[in-house]
């Protein structure tokens, strides 16, 4: 549905030409000359070459398959990222006259599923790559884009594991240090995350806050967001779901360690589409605000980073240590196989 949004915008103004078979290429070229949202996958070399690098912002929408319990789809974070990319791209061309938003296909790969926080490295619905693999992917793409002269990149990947965020932050720092441009991992910035948390905190009653507890993953918030954005993908069983959570961060980490942990932390039954809309609108507005600030010259290294906060917390340090050990063990397993079977 979100992809249709891109197509719809790009095709605006094409209607008069619809009867002519050659209308689409003409119209696409015309739209690139002005401020538009375009998909890189639709462009040919001449069209990409013609983009004004100083006024083109590239969007790299991420996504991942990560379990979100029995009621939400595994691609929940990807659905949020896709929708946010759509809104950011439209906002960029609306607020920056003459600019082009160049949207890449969504890459459904992320690192470090939230199931890891309780020590579950294998969980139905979670299919991740190692954080080092994720970092290499985004660094490689940063180099491709940098070598082609692009200087503005927004990474849109709504997943919050510490090593996942750090990997994307590092790719952005590499791009900046190597090419002098800006590559910003928006979800890694505290001012963007605050848009989500502040709206949620203001809308919940004290009783709801107590029941939802320290909801680290797939709680009232994500169920509400999905009821707002994709209600057809929320299993109705959420209305009877028991709260699985803690009143402190440590209690929630402990709750996730249970062998029969259902894959979420919080109280899904409290979710409403109205809360989802409030949270989404606030979150999306915060992301747009920070993006525009960067495009207007703000230095993103001055924004507080979420990964820095997480790394200071011993509970998250434990998660980082166990994921790193898992990463190294898998790396050794793969390298040992390659050494035995070089071809």
- For Zn ion, give the closer residue by CB, 152 or 264: 264
Contact 269, 238 (CB under 8 A): yes
> Considering the complex, what minimum distance in angstroms separates the CB of residue 224 from Zn ion?
12
CB of 230 to Zn ion, least distance (A): 13
Please state the closest distance from residue 165 (CB atom) to Zn ion, in A.
13
**Torsion angles phi and psi, residue 18, rounded to 5:** -60, -30
Query: How big, in percent rounded to 5, are the helix, strand and coil portions of the chain?
Result: 60, 10, 30
Give the orientation angle of helix 23-33 with respect to helix 2-11, to 10 degrees: 90
| Residue with Cβ nearer Zn ion (99 or 283) | 283
The residues near 332 (Cβ < 8 Å, ≥ 6 apart) are none
Q: Shortest distance, CB of residue 91 to Zn ion, whole angstroms?
A: 23
C-beta of 77 vs 116, nearer to Zn ion: 77
Residue 325 beta carbon to Zn ion: minimum distance, rounded to whole angstroms: 24
Footprint on this chain of Zn ion (rule: CB under 5 A): 76-77
The CA-atom distances, in angstroms, between 97 and each of 35, 36, 39, 55 are: 6, 9, 18, 9
Rounded to an integer, what distance in angstroms lies between the CA atom of residue 56 and that of residue 46? 15
Instruction: Look at residues 121, 206, 108 and name the one whose alpha carbon lies nearest to residue 159.
Output: 108
Coil vs helix vs strand at 299 = coil
For Zn ion, the closer of residues 77 and 327 by Cβ is: 77
Tell me the residue nearest to Zn ion as measured from the CB: 77
Q: How far is the CB of 206 from Zn ion (least distance, A)?
A: 25
CB of residue 294 to Zn ion, shortest distance in Å: 24
Closer by beta carbon to Zn ion, 67 or else 169:
67
Structure tokens at 86: 């759509």
State in angstroms the smallest separation of the CB of 76 from Zn ion: 5
Interacting residues of 275 by C-beta distance below 8 A, sequence separation 6+: 200, 203, 204, 220, 221, 224
Q: Read off the tokens for 35.
A: 């401020």
76 or 290: CB nearest Zn ion: 76
- Those residues whose C-beta lies under 8 Å from the C-beta of residue 39, and which sit 6 or more positions away, are 6, 10, 102, 103, 104, 105
Reading across the β-sheet that carries 36-39, which strands appear in turn?
A: 36-39, 100-103, 56-61, 152-156, 182-185
Nearer to Zn ion, 77 or 169 (CB): 77
CB of 36 or CB of 76, closer to Zn ion = 76
């Amino acid at each position: 549905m979100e992809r249709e949004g891109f197509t719809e915008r790009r095709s605006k103004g094409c209607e008069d030409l619809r009867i002519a078979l050659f209308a689409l290429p003409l119209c696409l070229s015309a739209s690139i000359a002005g401020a538009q949202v375009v998909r890189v996958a639709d462009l040919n070399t001449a069209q990409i070459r013609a983009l004004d690098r100083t006024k083109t912002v590239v969007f790299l929408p991420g996504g991942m398959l990560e379990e979100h319990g029995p009621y939400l789809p595994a691609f929940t974070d990807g659905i949020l990222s896709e929708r946010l990319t759509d809104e950011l791209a439209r906002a960029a061309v609306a607020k920056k006259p003459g600019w082009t938003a160049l949207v890449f296909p969504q890459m459904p790969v992320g690192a470090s599923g939230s199931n890891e926080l309780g020590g579950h490295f294998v969980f139905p619905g979670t299919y991740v790559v190692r954080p080092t693999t994720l970092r290499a992917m985004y660094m490689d793409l940063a180099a491709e884009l940098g070598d082609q002269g692009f200087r503005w990149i927004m990474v849109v990947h709504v997943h919050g594991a510490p090593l996942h965020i750090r990997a994307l932050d590092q790719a952005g720092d590499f791009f900046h240090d190597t090419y002098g441009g800006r590559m910003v991992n928006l979800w890694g910035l505290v001012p963007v995350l605050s848009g989500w948390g502040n709206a949620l905190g203001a809308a919940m009653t004290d009783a709801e806050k107590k029941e939802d507890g320290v909801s680290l993953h797939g709680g009232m918030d994500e169920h509400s967001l999905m009821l707002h954005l994709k209600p057809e993908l929320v299993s109705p069983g959420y209305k009877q779901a028991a709260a699985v959570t803690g009143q402190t961060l440590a209690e929630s980490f402990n709750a996730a360690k249970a062998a029969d942990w259902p894959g979420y932390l919080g109280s899904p039954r409290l979710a409403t589409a109205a809360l989802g809309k409030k949270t989404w609108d606030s979150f999306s507005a915060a992301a747009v605000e920070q993006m525009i600030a960067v495009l207007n010259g703000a230095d993103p290294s001055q924004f507080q980073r979420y990964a820095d906060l997480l790394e200071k917390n011993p509970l998250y340090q434990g998660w980082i240590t166990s994921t790193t050990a898992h990463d190294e063990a898998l790396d050794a397993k793969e390298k040992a196989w390659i050494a035995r079977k070089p071809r």
